[in-house]
Structure 1
Amino acid sequence: MKSKRYLWAALVLALAAIVMTACETQTVEVEVTRVVDVTATPRTVTFHEASAIEEMTAPHQCKPLATLPTEFSQPWRLGFINPNLAHPFFGEWSGAMKTAAEFYGVEFFESDAAGDYSTEPDLLETLLLNDLSIVGAHGPNVYEGLALRALDEGIQFIGIDNGPSEYTPIVYGIPDGIAGMRGAELLVEGVRKRQQEDWAGRELFFIELTHGGIPACVTRTGSAASTFMEAMELDEDHVLMADLTTGRSAEDMVNDAMTANPDGVFAMIPCWDGLGIGPYNAVAEAGNEADVMLVTLGGDEPPAKFLKTRPMGYYGFIEFQPYCEGWGWVEVALATLEGLPFETYQVRKAITQETVDQRYEELYGSE
């Protein structure tokens, strides 16, 4: 009997050892699995170099607004409503956006409003069929509705040269206050030269050529007026407003100002190039170009070509570099989608009759 008890005891101890061994083996297997998971290799992220962007955008040499990865987190799809592809300035936007999208390896879809902003809501509906990640447009009178429609679809809207919106936190484009200020500084330079010559002792007026219905214009020309007024120590009676929202043409309003002050001389800055060149041409046709000094804002090919003819009184322009502005829109859109920081767009070039030949050849070649 005693030997049987020993036999049963030995059998129990053996079974216990087997169970313990099995448990230890299972524990080791779990620990090994966890080690493999922890040591997984993370994905390496590389970024585009700023020098490559400047080389790619030559002769414009655009400064990148964001440092973007060479591989994005998703295959992004960008959409944009161009206000008028036939216009040289907006055509530069288009070419730059397409090239930038190709460079960064994303899809780009574009519609053309052909100069009619009222078509943009319908064009947006068509663009939205492309399963866009983000969309943008330029349309001073319609962009708020476009931004709201995009928001309804859960898509971010980034306009260009529109001004602030209730429906998107991002305001992209020309820094209007700075652009107006720099235009005024260039105009002050030209006027002071004339005051040492044929304008010595003449009564000086400033004409602000603007559009009160366009927020960007109000900021842009308002900044120009205040900067010029302070620099030249003008009182409010010598700062005149020519606002297109009155229903009158810029040509008529400038003519009225000059007729009312026949002994005066007039410095002018418009919201955009054409808004100043039109009245200037009317003044020149009347033989009074010696009494005006003009600086314009924008500076794409048509005003550059005109400045090359050395028209008396057209001192120069602030170049908005539309190609770089279009390229930058793509970068800001992609940075927004990736959750990356970006810089604001800046205007950097002031062109005068002394420098326009070289700049024109850089951008457009010889005529």
Structure 2
Amino acid sequence: MLGLSGCASDGGLGELAVMAAMVAPIPGDASALLTTAAVAGGAVALVSASSTESTPGAVPVPGQAAAYKPDLQMLVTRETPERYRPRTCEYIEMALIEVPGYVGSTEPLLQQAGEARKVAASQVWYEKGCTQANLPRGIIGVHMDTVDAVSAARIAAPTMGVLIDRTGPGSGAQNAGILSGDIVVAVNDQPIADSIDFRLAVAKAPIGTSVNLKYWRAHNFYTVPVFVASSGNPPPVLPLAVRSSATPLKATSASLQGMSLGVVTPSYAKAVGLASAQGAWVTNTVKGSVADQAGIKPLDVIVEVSGQEVATAQDVADISSRMRVGYKATVSVWRNQAKRDVQMVLRNE
């Protein structure tokens, strides 16, 4: 059984807006989601595939859609600057291109993930001095999900790559015989870790050429050339956050250190269930810092410090600067749709 962890289209239209058509509540369990691409054992047939890697005489067996509860919260918590610092500017650009699809979703956690990605990826974009590459934007006509490693391991499927949900009518992928349930693990012999890697590899391919997709189906690997078409769309305007949206706290004699704080926008407040756009959004924490030791996590929203209401990031610095070093401050954070308190011992740095 394979899980959903960030579905996307390689066409760049709506990106994750296809989520609503790909998942739906299962009767009797409001927390469960069903994806038609979740399969046990492979797709329904082998069509137009050529490979020297498949087992001789192997006959793909019909798959069966299976219920799975995707961890949407994981999509939110992974969106920190650390995810993007080791990656190229092109990868970050493609990640930002997917943001509008998240934000435009009707699922609150996906909206939250989009807001978090916008801030996290933008922060690293500025750190690296990235500029937009304006890639050729080649497409092969697929909607796909990043493979859920835990679920894939249970059926001995590849734990990295993209799970094909469906192909577009008349697309290169459909003409090549790519089917719902296939797992693409490499493009032109380059391993694919997630949907961003996949879309980037295809987008960089010259229009009118073919890319070789290595995919897994029914416990075998196959390779097939797939025609790359033009998306027909102009380069998108990247949804970059403003530089000032994630500002490190200024060190004071007794400050709440080790955090980068951002502005709580109305859309982010709505996504996380806050009544108003107030508080200080924790966009990053430094490992081993006061904030990290206290259990404050990226994407928390600080709403109070020692009983004093926090409206902006500057309030956190101002309130804490009036406290003595060594004082154990109660910090109230908003996390997972609920308010909770952590204890933080202030120190000099």
Report the TM range for the smaller structure's normalisation.
under 0.3
* TM-score using structure 1 length: 0.21
Higher-helix-fraction structure: 1
Give the greater-gyration-radius structure (CA): 1
Higher strand share: 2
